[in-house]
Amino acid sequence: MRMFALVLIVSLSLIFLQDFYIYQQVKKRLQKPFLRMFFWLPALFFTMVFLTIRFGGGSLNTHHQYMSYFTWLLLAFVIFYIPKIFYILFDLLNKLLCLIIKKKVHLFSYIGMGLGALFIVLFIYGTFVTRFDFQVNTVEVEAENLPAAFDGFRIVQISDTHLGNWNKNYQAMDTVSKLIMQQKPDMIVMTGDLVSNYADETDGWKPSFSTLKAPYGVYAIMGNHDYGDYSPWKTPQDKLNNLIAVHNAYQNLGFTLLLDSTAIINKGGAQIGLIGMENWGHPPFPRYGKLQKAKRGSEKMAFNILLSHDPNHWNAEVTGKENITLTLAGHTHGMQMGIDKWGIKFSPAQWVFKQWKGLYKEGNQYIYVNEGIGYVGIPCRVGIRPEITVLILKRKVK
């Protein structure tokens, strides 16, 4: 609640300081009272929205529907106010330039306006196009310790569906399911965050997941959002009931849920271990998983795969410490904003996660970080497409 109060103060300050600055520039053109009132309407609207969420959220809280509406309101706020920051910063820079050269110019003001307009275009495109522009990324993972029977074994990974934010867009998930099955997976894994908070986010989605089949199993683990930690609960029992319902929802959608446990995958007389961790993250993300418990039964396996939602876990407990060749993670979403083209790989996610997108290797150990299928915060992806990963295991010849 304290964090929300801080965000509320910052947001309201951002609204009124920006609008006051711009109002000083345009007020001469707003001579009529109704025009001035119209200018301040967005500020009043978002103020009422944020105050209602802060002090009346309980009456609005209809679980996933409420969250979905909030994400759209937050997107509208971002599109409406972030471009103003670009303009204001460059307009201030323009004023400084005028003082230095002692001449009135508008160069930087126009640049700020252009950047603001570009921001709006990118976010609108990211909302209505990129958000459902599903990509299939295929990568090979070579390892000398891979049993020969598993050479060419195909694992399809998805992550971070956050179903409550999809607003019952079943068609999009149907597309994902078709793309997954087109890859002819030997095994399918889901690396957490099926929901954003509530078990009832999964209501109605069973037909979209029912086609996910693989000869060596369909597995899942819990992500940080699956525990209901980001919602107030009337009683601890209510939260526990929701957690149990989330566990059941995974099973109902066809996943074998690994809760700090290991599944042994048998193929052609050989075996590999599939270790499923509960969420393990650096604060403020929860740390429920216990690797020593989860890996029981995998100790004698030549090749082990770890499913761990948060990629920070790899450096903290896996690399150079455990008999785990491949780790599969999600969680970062690539911050839903970035670029991976023309030799440029950048996202704000890299300031938080050392491994934030794609395949990484240290020694003989790998981690693949999936960018997620869904979205959280705002219903938008700018340059970071939703991802389905196909990992092909290859036996490396010595």
**Assign residue 335 a region: left if phi > 0, alpha if psi is -120 to 50, beta otherwise?**
left
**Assign residue 382 a region: left if phi > 0, alpha if psi is -120 to 50, beta otherwise?**
beta
In the chain, domain spans: 2-130, 136-395
CATH number 2.60.120 is the correct assignment for the domain at 136-395? no
pLDDT of 306 strictly over 80: yes
Express each pLDDT in 181-230 by its tens digit: 999 999 999 999 999 999 999 999 999 999 999 999 999 999 999 999 98
pLDDT of 313 strictly over 80: yes
Lowest mean pLDDT among 12-16, 283-287, 345-349, 374-378: 12-16
Average pLDDT estimate for 361-387: 95
Q: Check residue 319 and give its pLDDT.
A: 96
Q: Check residue 274 and give its pLDDT.
A: 98
Express each pLDDT in 31-68 by its tens digit: 787 888 888 888 888 888 777 766 655 544 445 566 67
Question: 3-class SS at 202?
Answer: helix
State both tokens at 343.
């030799």
Count of Cβ atoms closer than 10 Å to residue 164 Cβ: 27
Express each pLDDT in 81-93 by its tens digit: 899 999 999 999 9
Q: Check residue 70 and give its pLDDT.
A: 78
Contact 277, 318 (CB under 8 A): no
Q: Check residue 59 and give its pLDDT.
A: 43
Q: Check residue 3 and give its pLDDT.
A: 56
Average pLDDT estimate for 368-375: 96
Express each pLDDT in 71-114 by its tens digit: 888 899 899 889 999 999 999 999 998 988 888 888 888 999 99
End-to-end CA distance of the chain: 56
Lowest mean pLDDT among 49-53, 132-136, 350-354, 389-393: 49-53
**Assign residue 358 a region: left if phi > 0, alpha if psi is -120 to 50, beta otherwise?**
left
Q: Check residue 30 and give its pLDDT.
A: 79
Q: Provide, rounded to the nearest whole percent, the portion of the chain with pLDDT above 90.
A: 69
Count of Cβ atoms closer than 10 Å to residue 261 Cβ: 19
pTM score: 0.90
Calpha distance 108→123 (Å, rounded): 22
Express each pLDDT in 224-271 by its tens digit: 999 999 888 889 999 999 999 999 999 999 999 999 999 999 999 999
Contact 204, 173 (CB under 8 A): no
Average pLDDT estimate for 350-375: 95
| pLDDT, averaged across the chain | 91
H, E, C per residue of 121-186: HHHHHHHHCHHHCCEEEEEEEEECCCCHHHCCCEEEEECCCCHHHCCCCHHHHHHHHHHHHHCCCC
Q: Check residue 186 and give its pLDDT.
A: 98
- Length of the chain equals 398
Top mean-pLDDT range of 44-53, 143-152, 161-170: 143-152
Q: Check residue 62 and give its pLDDT.
A: 47
Q: Check residue 60 and give its pLDDT.
A: 46
